Structure 1
Protein backbone atom coordinates (compact mmCIF):
# COMPACT_ATOMS: atom_id res chain seq x y z
CA UNK A 1 0.00 0.00 0.00
CA UNK A 2 1.30 3.43 -0.93
CA UNK A 3 2.10 5.73 1.95
CA UNK A 4 0.28 8.98 2.39
CA UNK A 5 1.83 11.66 0.17
CA UNK A 6 4.11 9.02 -1.33
CA UNK A 7 6.06 9.71 -4.49
CA UNK A 8 4.48 8.59 -7.75
CA UNK A 9 6.52 7.02 -10.55
CA UNK A 10 5.55 6.49 -14.18
CA UNK A 11 7.23 3.35 -15.58
CA UNK A 12 7.26 2.74 -19.33
CA UNK A 13 7.60 -0.85 -20.56
CA UNK A 14 8.00 -2.32 -24.02
CA UNK A 15 5.34 -4.62 -25.40
CA UNK A 16 8.11 -6.68 -27.04
CA UNK A 17 9.74 -7.75 -23.80
CA UNK A 18 11.53 -6.14 -20.89
CA UNK A 19 14.48 -7.63 -19.00
CA UNK A 20 13.17 -8.87 -15.68
CA UNK A 21 15.81 -7.50 -13.32
CA UNK A 22 15.60 -4.08 -14.95
CA UNK A 23 12.07 -3.78 -13.62
CA UNK A 24 12.39 -5.87 -10.46
CA UNK A 25 15.45 -3.92 -9.28
CA UNK A 26 13.93 -0.42 -9.32
CA UNK A 27 10.57 -1.75 -8.07
CA UNK A 28 12.33 -3.20 -5.04
CA UNK A 29 13.41 0.29 -3.99
CA UNK A 30 10.11 1.95 -4.96
CA UNK A 31 8.10 -0.57 -2.98
CA UNK A 32 10.36 -0.23 0.05
CA UNK A 33 9.60 3.49 0.04
CA UNK A 34 5.90 2.98 -0.50
CA UNK A 35 5.96 4.78 -3.85
CA UNK A 36 2.94 4.51 -6.11
CA UNK A 37 3.90 3.07 -9.50
CA UNK A 38 1.86 3.39 -12.69
CA UNK A 39 2.83 1.33 -15.72
CA UNK A 40 2.43 2.42 -19.33
CA UNK A 41 3.03 0.68 -22.67
CA UNK A 42 2.95 2.04 -26.23
CA UNK A 43 -0.49 0.68 -27.16
CA UNK A 44 -1.86 -0.50 -23.82
CA UNK A 45 -0.88 -4.16 -24.21
CA UNK A 46 0.36 -5.93 -21.11
CA UNK A 47 4.13 -6.13 -20.88
CA UNK A 48 5.94 -9.41 -20.17
CA UNK A 49 9.47 -10.28 -19.17
CA UNK A 50 11.84 -11.74 -21.76
CA UNK A 51 12.17 -15.52 -21.12
CA UNK A 52 15.99 -15.47 -20.77
CA UNK A 53 15.62 -12.93 -17.97
CA UNK A 54 13.70 -15.53 -15.95
CA UNK A 55 16.22 -18.29 -16.56
CA UNK A 56 19.20 -18.40 -14.16
CA UNK A 57 20.88 -20.96 -16.44
CA UNK A 58 20.86 -18.66 -19.46
CA UNK A 59 24.44 -17.67 -20.29
CA UNK A 60 24.78 -14.12 -21.55
CA UNK A 61 27.06 -14.43 -24.63
CA UNK A 62 29.15 -11.24 -24.22
CA UNK A 63 29.74 -11.83 -20.50
CA UNK A 64 30.07 -15.60 -20.70
CA UNK A 65 28.09 -16.16 -17.53
CA UNK A 66 24.57 -16.09 -16.14
CA UNK A 67 23.32 -12.60 -15.37
CA UNK A 68 20.18 -13.75 -13.56
CA UNK A 69 20.31 -15.11 -10.03
CA UNK A 70 17.83 -17.70 -8.74
CA UNK A 71 16.29 -14.99 -6.54
CA UNK A 72 15.85 -12.46 -9.37
CA UNK A 73 14.42 -15.17 -11.62
CA UNK A 74 11.90 -16.06 -8.91
CA UNK A 75 10.94 -12.43 -8.36
CA UNK A 76 10.58 -11.83 -12.09
CA UNK A 77 8.37 -14.90 -12.56
CA UNK A 78 6.24 -13.88 -9.58
CA UNK A 79 5.77 -10.37 -11.00
CA UNK A 80 5.08 -11.70 -14.48
CA UNK A 81 2.46 -14.11 -13.12
CA UNK A 82 0.77 -11.46 -10.97
CA UNK A 83 -1.86 -8.95 -12.01
CA UNK A 84 0.34 -5.97 -11.16
CA UNK A 85 1.19 -5.22 -14.80
CA UNK A 86 -2.38 -5.70 -16.02
CA UNK A 87 -4.21 -2.77 -17.62
CA UNK A 88 -1.27 -0.44 -18.25
CA UNK A 89 -1.80 3.12 -19.43
CA UNK A 90 -2.15 3.20 -23.22
CA UNK A 91 0.35 5.81 -24.39
CA UNK A 92 -1.14 5.89 -27.90
CA UNK A 93 -4.53 6.86 -26.43
CA UNK A 94 -3.07 9.24 -23.86
CA UNK A 95 -0.83 11.36 -26.07
CA UNK A 96 -1.77 12.85 -29.42
CA UNK A 97 0.02 12.03 -32.65
CA UNK A 98 1.86 14.87 -34.38
CA UNK A 99 0.28 15.47 -37.81
CA UNK A 100 2.21 15.07 -41.03
CA UNK A 101 3.16 18.36 -42.66
CA UNK A 102 1.42 17.02 -45.78
CA UNK A 103 -1.90 16.65 -43.94
CA UNK A 104 -4.81 18.81 -45.01
CA UNK A 105 -5.37 21.76 -42.66
CA UNK A 106 -1.95 21.11 -41.11
CA UNK A 107 -1.80 24.35 -39.10
CA UNK A 108 -5.11 23.75 -37.32
CA UNK A 109 -4.15 20.14 -36.61
CA UNK A 110 -0.79 21.24 -35.20
CA UNK A 111 -2.52 23.74 -32.93
CA UNK A 112 -4.87 20.99 -31.73
CA UNK A 113 -1.86 18.73 -31.15
CA UNK A 114 -0.22 21.28 -28.87
CA UNK A 115 -3.48 21.88 -27.00
CA UNK A 116 -3.77 18.15 -26.35
CA UNK A 117 -0.15 18.01 -25.17
CA UNK A 118 -0.79 20.78 -22.67
CA UNK A 119 -3.56 18.67 -21.12
CA UNK A 120 -1.18 15.73 -20.77
CA UNK A 121 1.43 17.97 -19.14
CA UNK A 122 -1.13 18.96 -16.50
CA UNK A 123 -1.87 15.28 -15.84
CA UNK A 124 1.85 14.57 -15.48
CA UNK A 125 2.05 17.00 -12.58
CA UNK A 126 0.93 14.07 -10.40
CA UNK A 127 4.17 12.19 -11.14
CA UNK A 128 7.55 12.68 -9.50
CA UNK A 129 9.76 10.71 -11.87
CA UNK A 130 9.84 8.72 -15.11
CA UNK A 131 11.55 5.36 -15.72
CA UNK A 132 12.09 3.57 -19.04
CA UNK A 133 12.90 -0.09 -18.48
CA UNK A 134 15.39 -1.84 -20.78
CA UNK A 135 15.73 -5.14 -22.58
CA UNK A 136 15.59 -5.84 -26.31
CA UNK A 137 11.94 -4.80 -26.58
CA UNK A 138 12.59 -1.04 -26.39
CA UNK A 139 14.57 -1.32 -29.63
CA UNK A 140 11.25 -1.99 -31.35
CA UNK A 141 8.68 0.28 -29.73
CA UNK A 142 10.28 2.82 -27.37
CA UNK A 143 13.49 4.17 -28.93
CA UNK A 144 11.90 6.02 -31.85
CA UNK A 145 8.42 6.44 -30.41
CA UNK A 146 7.41 10.11 -30.73
CA UNK A 147 4.74 9.83 -28.04
CA UNK A 148 7.32 8.43 -25.62
CA UNK A 149 9.61 11.31 -26.62
CA UNK A 150 6.87 13.79 -25.74
CA UNK A 151 6.50 12.22 -22.29
CA UNK A 152 10.24 12.53 -21.76
CA UNK A 153 10.22 16.15 -22.91
CA UNK A 154 7.32 16.93 -20.58
CA UNK A 155 9.23 15.58 -17.58
CA UNK A 156 12.28 17.55 -18.72
CA UNK A 157 10.33 20.81 -18.93
CA UNK A 158 8.94 20.12 -15.47
CA UNK A 159 12.49 19.55 -14.13
CA UNK A 160 11.62 16.05 -12.90
CA UNK A 161 13.95 13.02 -12.80
CA UNK A 162 14.12 10.89 -15.94
CA UNK A 163 15.64 7.43 -15.61
CA UNK A 164 16.41 4.85 -18.28
CA UNK A 165 18.16 1.49 -18.40
CA UNK A 166 20.02 -0.40 -21.10
CA UNK A 167 18.31 0.02 -24.51
CA UNK A 168 15.69 2.23 -22.88
CA UNK A 169 18.35 4.94 -22.90
CA UNK A 170 17.95 5.16 -26.68
CA UNK A 171 14.74 7.15 -26.25
CA UNK A 172 16.68 9.84 -24.37
CA UNK A 173 19.09 10.23 -27.27
CA UNK A 174 16.25 10.60 -29.77
CA UNK A 175 13.98 12.84 -27.67
CA UNK A 176 14.52 16.26 -29.21
CA UNK A 177 12.89 19.64 -29.38
CA UNK A 178 11.12 19.89 -32.71
CA UNK A 179 12.73 23.26 -33.47
CA UNK A 180 16.47 22.71 -32.96
CA UNK A 181 16.54 18.87 -33.21
CA UNK A 182 19.34 18.72 -30.62
CA UNK A 183 19.32 15.70 -28.33
CA UNK A 184 18.20 16.44 -24.78
CA UNK A 185 21.29 14.59 -23.51
CA UNK A 186 23.68 16.88 -25.35
CA UNK A 187 26.23 18.09 -22.81
CA UNK A 188 25.22 15.41 -20.30
CA UNK A 189 27.04 12.42 -18.82
CA UNK A 190 25.21 9.22 -19.73
CA UNK A 191 25.75 5.47 -19.60
CA UNK A 192 24.00 2.76 -21.60
CA UNK A 193 24.56 -0.60 -23.25
CA UNK A 194 28.23 -0.57 -24.31
CA UNK A 195 29.51 -2.09 -27.56
CA UNK A 196 31.27 -4.95 -25.78
CA UNK A 197 27.93 -6.07 -24.34
CA UNK A 198 26.13 -6.23 -27.72
CA UNK A 199 25.13 -9.67 -28.94
CA UNK A 200 26.65 -10.93 -32.20
CA UNK A 201 23.58 -13.09 -32.77
CA UNK A 202 20.36 -14.05 -31.06
CA UNK A 203 18.72 -10.69 -30.37
CA UNK A 204 15.07 -11.66 -29.89
CA UNK A 205 11.78 -9.89 -29.33
CA UNK A 206 8.83 -11.20 -27.35
CA UNK A 207 5.67 -12.03 -29.28
CA UNK A 208 7.51 -12.61 -32.57
CA UNK A 209 9.47 -15.38 -34.24
CA UNK A 210 12.01 -12.81 -35.37
CA UNK A 211 15.53 -13.32 -34.06
CA UNK A 212 18.26 -11.17 -35.54
CA UNK A 213 22.02 -11.00 -35.28
CA UNK A 214 23.42 -8.00 -33.43
CA UNK A 215 21.05 -5.21 -32.37
CA UNK A 216 20.07 -2.92 -35.29
CA UNK A 217 22.22 -0.13 -33.87
CA UNK A 218 25.20 0.15 -31.49
CA UNK A 219 23.75 2.20 -28.65
CA UNK A 220 27.16 3.28 -27.42
CA UNK A 221 27.87 5.09 -30.70
CA UNK A 222 24.51 6.83 -30.61
CA UNK A 223 25.11 8.02 -27.05
CA UNK A 224 28.65 9.19 -27.82
CA UNK A 225 27.31 11.32 -30.67
CA UNK A 226 24.22 12.55 -28.79
CA UNK A 227 26.10 13.74 -25.70
CA UNK A 228 28.32 15.86 -27.95
CA UNK A 229 31.62 17.55 -27.22
CA UNK A 230 30.48 18.99 -23.89
CA UNK A 231 29.05 15.76 -22.51
CA UNK A 232 30.32 12.21 -22.29
CA UNK A 233 29.27 8.62 -22.76
CA UNK A 234 30.60 6.54 -19.85
CA UNK A 235 30.53 2.79 -20.49
CA UNK A 236 32.60 1.66 -17.50
CA UNK A 237 33.46 -1.52 -19.39
CA UNK A 238 35.33 -3.87 -17.09
CA UNK A 239 33.53 -2.56 -14.03
CA UNK A 240 30.69 -4.57 -12.53
CA UNK A 241 28.24 -1.68 -12.47
CA UNK A 242 27.68 1.56 -14.33
CA UNK A 243 25.04 4.03 -13.16
CA UNK A 244 25.36 7.72 -13.93
CA UNK A 245 23.38 10.59 -12.43
CA UNK A 246 23.61 13.89 -14.28
CA UNK A 247 20.38 15.53 -13.21
CA UNK A 248 17.67 15.19 -14.37
CA UNK A 249 18.94 11.99 -15.98
CA UNK A 250 19.66 8.71 -14.19
CA UNK A 251 20.99 6.06 -16.55
CA UNK A 252 21.93 2.42 -16.00
CA UNK A 253 24.14 0.50 -18.40
CA UNK A 254 22.56 -2.96 -18.31
CA UNK A 255 21.08 -5.74 -16.18
CA UNK A 256 23.60 -5.76 -13.28
CA UNK A 257 22.92 -2.05 -12.75
CA UNK A 258 19.18 -2.40 -12.13
CA UNK A 259 19.08 -2.34 -8.34
CA UNK A 260 21.65 0.46 -8.21
CA UNK A 261 19.60 2.46 -10.72
CA UNK A 262 16.56 2.18 -8.47
CA UNK A 263 18.64 3.16 -5.46
CA UNK A 264 19.88 6.29 -7.20
CA UNK A 265 16.38 7.28 -8.35
CA UNK A 266 15.31 7.19 -4.70
CA UNK A 267 18.34 9.24 -3.66
CA UNK A 268 17.54 11.83 -6.31
CA UNK A 269 13.96 12.08 -5.06
CA UNK A 270 14.63 11.88 -1.33
CA UNK A 271 18.10 13.34 -0.82
CA UNK A 272 18.50 15.77 -3.71
CA UNK A 273 21.28 13.76 -5.40
CA UNK A 274 22.29 15.54 -8.60
CA UNK A 275 25.58 13.92 -9.58
CA UNK A 276 26.92 10.39 -9.29
CA UNK A 277 29.40 8.20 -11.15
CA UNK A 278 31.48 10.83 -12.93
Structure 2
Protein backbone atom coordinates (compact mmCIF):
# COMPACT_ATOMS: atom_id res chain seq x y z
CA UNK A 1 0.00 0.00 0.00
CA UNK A 2 1.41 3.41 -0.95
CA UNK A 3 1.96 6.21 1.53
CA UNK A 4 -1.00 8.12 0.09
CA UNK A 5 -3.41 5.20 0.05
CA UNK A 6 -6.04 5.93 2.70
CA UNK A 7 -8.07 2.77 2.09
CA UNK A 8 -8.82 1.04 5.41
CA UNK A 9 -6.66 -2.02 6.02
CA UNK A 10 -8.60 -5.26 6.34
CA UNK A 11 -8.83 -6.52 9.89
CA UNK A 12 -7.99 -3.18 11.43
CA UNK A 13 -11.03 -1.65 13.03
CA UNK A 14 -11.86 1.59 14.72
CA UNK A 15 -9.98 0.81 17.94
CA UNK A 16 -6.76 0.16 16.02
CA UNK A 17 -6.93 3.55 14.30
CA UNK A 18 -7.81 5.32 17.54
CA UNK A 19 -4.69 3.84 19.16
CA UNK A 20 -2.56 4.58 16.08
CA UNK A 21 -3.74 8.20 15.91
CA UNK A 22 -3.13 8.69 19.62
CA UNK A 23 0.39 7.29 19.26
CA UNK A 24 1.13 9.70 16.40
CA UNK A 25 0.06 12.62 18.59
CA UNK A 26 2.02 11.29 21.56
CA UNK A 27 5.15 10.85 19.43
CA UNK A 28 4.77 14.37 18.05
CA UNK A 29 4.57 15.81 21.58
CA UNK A 30 7.53 13.76 22.82
CA UNK A 31 9.66 15.01 19.94
CA UNK A 32 8.58 18.55 20.77
CA UNK A 33 9.58 18.04 24.40
CA UNK A 34 12.94 16.59 23.37
CA UNK A 35 13.60 19.65 21.21
CA UNK A 36 12.70 22.01 24.06
CA UNK A 37 14.44 20.44 27.11
CA UNK A 38 13.71 23.55 29.17
CA UNK A 39 10.18 22.18 29.62
CA UNK A 40 11.55 19.24 31.60
CA UNK A 41 14.11 21.33 33.46
CA UNK A 42 11.61 23.90 34.71
CA UNK A 43 9.05 21.19 35.57
CA UNK A 44 11.71 19.44 37.69
CA UNK A 45 13.15 22.47 39.48
CA UNK A 46 9.89 23.39 41.23
CA UNK A 47 9.38 20.08 43.11
CA UNK A 48 13.07 20.01 44.04
CA UNK A 49 12.64 23.43 45.64
CA UNK A 50 9.59 22.14 47.55
CA UNK A 51 11.65 19.25 48.92
CA UNK A 52 14.51 21.50 50.04
CA UNK A 53 12.25 24.18 51.52
CA UNK A 54 9.97 21.87 53.47
CA UNK A 55 12.81 19.62 54.63
CA UNK A 56 15.23 22.27 55.81
CA UNK A 57 13.01 25.31 56.49
CA UNK A 58 9.62 24.03 57.69
CA UNK A 59 10.48 20.45 58.68
CA UNK A 60 11.59 21.33 62.19
CA UNK A 61 8.31 23.08 62.94
CA UNK A 62 5.95 20.34 61.73
CA UNK A 63 5.19 17.44 64.07
CA UNK A 64 4.17 14.28 62.20
CA UNK A 65 4.17 11.91 65.16
CA UNK A 66 6.70 9.95 67.22
CA UNK A 67 9.23 7.80 65.42
CA UNK A 68 8.61 9.31 61.98
CA UNK A 69 11.19 11.46 60.22
CA UNK A 70 9.61 14.42 58.49
CA UNK A 71 11.43 13.74 55.23
CA UNK A 72 9.88 10.25 55.12
CA UNK A 73 6.46 11.78 55.75
CA UNK A 74 7.11 14.54 53.21
CA UNK A 75 8.34 12.68 50.13
CA UNK A 76 5.10 10.79 49.32
CA UNK A 77 3.29 14.13 49.49
CA UNK A 78 5.84 15.79 47.24
CA UNK A 79 5.56 12.93 44.75
CA UNK A 80 1.80 13.38 44.50
CA UNK A 81 2.10 17.17 44.43
CA UNK A 82 4.60 16.85 41.58
CA UNK A 83 2.37 14.70 39.38
CA UNK A 84 -0.68 16.90 40.04
CA UNK A 85 1.26 20.02 39.09
CA UNK A 86 2.65 18.10 36.11
CA UNK A 87 -0.90 17.34 34.99
CA UNK A 88 -1.46 21.07 34.54
CA UNK A 89 0.90 20.96 31.56
CA UNK A 90 -1.77 19.08 29.61
CA UNK A 91 -4.11 22.05 29.59
CA UNK A 92 -1.27 24.51 28.95
CA UNK A 93 -0.02 22.44 26.01
CA UNK A 94 -3.48 22.17 24.48
CA UNK A 95 -4.08 25.90 24.92
CA UNK A 96 -0.75 26.58 23.23
CA UNK A 97 -1.73 24.35 20.28
CA UNK A 98 -5.05 26.18 20.01
CA UNK A 99 -3.35 29.58 19.95
CA UNK A 100 -1.05 28.34 17.17
CA UNK A 101 -4.04 27.13 15.15
CA UNK A 102 -2.96 23.49 15.35
CA UNK A 103 -6.11 22.24 17.06
CA UNK A 104 -8.28 23.54 14.21
CA UNK A 105 -5.99 21.79 11.72
CA UNK A 106 -6.13 18.53 13.65
CA UNK A 107 -9.92 18.81 13.92
CA UNK A 108 -10.14 18.97 10.11
CA UNK A 109 -8.06 15.81 9.59
CA UNK A 110 -9.55 12.30 9.19
CA UNK A 111 -8.35 11.19 12.62
CA UNK A 112 -9.92 10.00 15.85
CA UNK A 113 -11.60 12.82 17.77
CA UNK A 114 -9.91 11.73 20.98
CA UNK A 115 -6.43 11.25 19.47
CA UNK A 116 -5.13 14.75 20.18
CA UNK A 117 -6.27 14.63 23.81
CA UNK A 118 -5.13 11.05 24.41
CA UNK A 119 -1.76 11.74 22.82
CA UNK A 120 -1.26 14.83 24.97
CA UNK A 121 -2.23 13.08 28.21
CA UNK A 122 0.05 10.12 27.42
CA UNK A 123 2.93 12.50 26.71
CA UNK A 124 2.46 14.18 30.07
CA UNK A 125 2.26 10.75 31.72
CA UNK A 126 5.71 9.91 30.31
CA UNK A 127 7.00 13.31 31.45
CA UNK A 128 5.61 12.74 34.95
CA UNK A 129 7.26 9.32 35.14
CA UNK A 130 10.63 10.86 34.31
CA UNK A 131 10.19 13.66 36.86
CA UNK A 132 9.19 11.12 39.53
CA UNK A 133 12.45 9.26 38.92
CA UNK A 134 14.41 12.49 39.38
CA UNK A 135 12.46 13.27 42.55
CA UNK A 136 13.19 9.81 43.94
CA UNK A 137 16.92 10.47 43.56
CA UNK A 138 16.51 13.88 45.22
CA UNK A 139 14.55 12.32 48.08
CA UNK A 140 17.20 9.67 48.67
CA UNK A 141 19.84 12.41 48.68
CA UNK A 142 18.09 14.34 51.48
CA UNK A 143 17.54 11.24 53.62
CA UNK A 144 14.28 9.66 52.46
CA UNK A 145 14.15 5.90 52.97
CA UNK A 146 11.44 3.33 52.29
CA UNK A 147 10.08 1.77 55.47
CA UNK A 148 8.80 -1.68 56.36
CA UNK A 149 7.57 -2.55 52.89
CA UNK A 150 8.57 -4.51 49.78
CA UNK A 151 9.36 -3.91 46.13
CA UNK A 152 5.85 -4.74 44.96
CA UNK A 153 4.33 -2.21 47.35
CA UNK A 154 6.77 0.47 46.20
CA UNK A 155 5.98 -0.23 42.54
CA UNK A 156 2.26 -0.15 43.38
CA UNK A 157 2.78 3.27 44.95
CA UNK A 158 4.40 4.67 41.82
CA UNK A 159 1.74 3.02 39.65
CA UNK A 160 -1.01 4.62 41.72
CA UNK A 161 0.58 8.05 41.34
CA UNK A 162 0.83 7.65 37.57
CA UNK A 163 -2.83 6.61 37.39
CA UNK A 164 -3.74 9.64 39.51
CA UNK A 165 -1.64 11.92 37.29
CA UNK A 166 -3.32 10.57 34.16
CA UNK A 167 -6.79 11.18 35.58
CA UNK A 168 -5.91 14.76 36.51
CA UNK A 169 -4.44 15.35 33.05
CA UNK A 170 -7.95 14.95 31.66
CA UNK A 171 -9.25 17.58 34.10
CA UNK A 172 -6.50 19.85 32.84
CA UNK A 173 -7.50 19.00 29.26
CA UNK A 174 -11.02 20.25 29.97
CA UNK A 175 -9.53 23.53 31.20
CA UNK A 176 -7.18 23.81 28.25
CA UNK A 177 -10.01 23.30 25.74
CA UNK A 178 -12.34 25.71 27.52
CA UNK A 179 -10.29 28.87 28.02
CA UNK A 180 -9.04 31.59 25.70
CA UNK A 181 -5.28 31.09 25.86
CA UNK A 182 -2.15 29.79 27.57
CA UNK A 183 -2.19 32.31 30.42
CA UNK A 184 -5.83 31.53 31.14
CA UNK A 185 -5.08 27.80 31.13
CA UNK A 186 -2.25 28.29 33.60
CA UNK A 187 -4.32 30.50 35.90
CA UNK A 188 -7.34 28.22 35.61
CA UNK A 189 -5.21 25.24 36.55
CA UNK A 190 -3.88 26.96 39.64
CA UNK A 191 -7.40 27.67 40.87
CA UNK A 192 -8.28 24.00 41.31
CA UNK A 193 -4.80 22.57 41.94
CA UNK A 194 -3.67 24.75 44.85
CA UNK A 195 -6.58 24.07 47.23
CA UNK A 196 -6.38 20.34 46.58
CA UNK A 197 -2.62 20.11 47.12
CA UNK A 198 -2.11 22.43 50.07
CA UNK A 199 -5.35 21.56 51.90
CA UNK A 200 -4.30 17.91 52.04
CA UNK A 201 -2.02 15.59 53.99
CA UNK A 202 0.83 16.18 51.52
CA UNK A 203 2.89 18.42 53.80
CA UNK A 204 1.25 18.20 57.24
CA UNK A 205 -1.13 15.81 59.05
CA UNK A 206 -4.80 16.56 58.50
CA UNK A 207 -5.31 16.44 62.27
CA UNK A 208 -3.23 19.60 62.68
CA UNK A 209 -5.67 21.63 60.57
CA UNK A 210 -8.72 23.56 61.82
CA UNK A 211 -11.80 21.42 62.29
CA UNK A 212 -13.76 23.07 59.49
CA UNK A 213 -10.92 22.34 57.03
CA UNK A 214 -10.42 18.75 58.14
CA UNK A 215 -13.83 17.75 56.78
CA UNK A 216 -12.67 18.73 53.29
CA UNK A 217 -9.02 17.70 53.56
CA UNK A 218 -9.64 14.20 54.85
CA UNK A 219 -11.71 12.87 51.95
CA UNK A 220 -10.50 14.82 48.92
CA UNK A 221 -8.56 12.89 46.25
CA UNK A 222 -5.07 14.25 46.93
CA UNK A 223 -5.20 13.29 50.61
CA UNK A 224 -6.43 9.76 49.96
CA UNK A 225 -3.75 9.24 47.31
CA UNK A 226 -0.97 10.67 49.49
CA UNK A 227 -2.06 8.50 52.42
CA UNK A 228 -2.17 5.40 50.20
CA UNK A 229 1.28 6.09 48.74
CA UNK A 230 2.67 6.86 52.20
CA UNK A 231 1.40 3.51 53.50
CA UNK A 232 2.79 1.66 50.48
CA UNK A 233 6.20 3.33 50.87
CA UNK A 234 6.53 3.32 54.66
CA UNK A 235 4.30 0.42 55.68
CA UNK A 236 0.92 0.39 57.40
CA UNK A 237 -2.77 -0.13 56.62
CA UNK A 238 -3.39 0.79 53.00
CA UNK A 239 -6.50 -0.98 51.70
CA UNK A 240 -9.09 1.72 52.42
CA UNK A 241 -7.07 4.65 51.12
CA UNK A 242 -5.95 2.67 48.07
CA UNK A 243 -9.50 1.72 47.10
CA UNK A 244 -10.77 5.28 47.62
CA UNK A 245 -7.91 6.72 45.56
CA UNK A 246 -8.58 4.27 42.72
CA UNK A 247 -12.27 5.15 42.89
CA UNK A 248 -11.34 8.83 42.56
CA UNK A 249 -9.18 8.03 39.51
CA UNK A 250 -11.97 6.14 37.80
CA UNK A 251 -14.58 8.77 38.67
CA UNK A 252 -12.42 11.66 37.47
CA UNK A 253 -11.67 9.89 34.18
CA UNK A 254 -15.34 9.00 33.67
CA UNK A 255 -16.36 12.66 34.03
CA UNK A 256 -13.42 14.64 32.65
CA UNK A 257 -12.68 12.42 29.65
CA UNK A 258 -16.03 12.86 27.89
CA UNK A 259 -16.11 16.57 28.79
CA UNK A 260 -12.69 17.13 27.21
CA UNK A 261 -13.62 15.23 24.04
CA UNK A 262 -16.90 17.14 23.82
CA UNK A 263 -15.09 20.47 24.12
CA UNK A 264 -12.66 19.40 21.40
CA UNK A 265 -15.41 18.26 19.04
CA UNK A 266 -17.50 21.37 19.43
CA UNK A 267 -14.60 23.79 19.48
CA UNK A 268 -16.22 25.54 22.44
CA UNK A 269 -13.02 27.28 23.42
CA UNK A 270 -12.48 30.50 21.51
Q: Which TM-score bucket, shorter chain as reference?
A: under 0.3
Higher RCO (CA 8 Å, separation ≥ 6 residues): 2
Greater C-alpha Rg? 2
More helix by share: 2
TM-score by length of 2: 0.27
More strand by share: 1
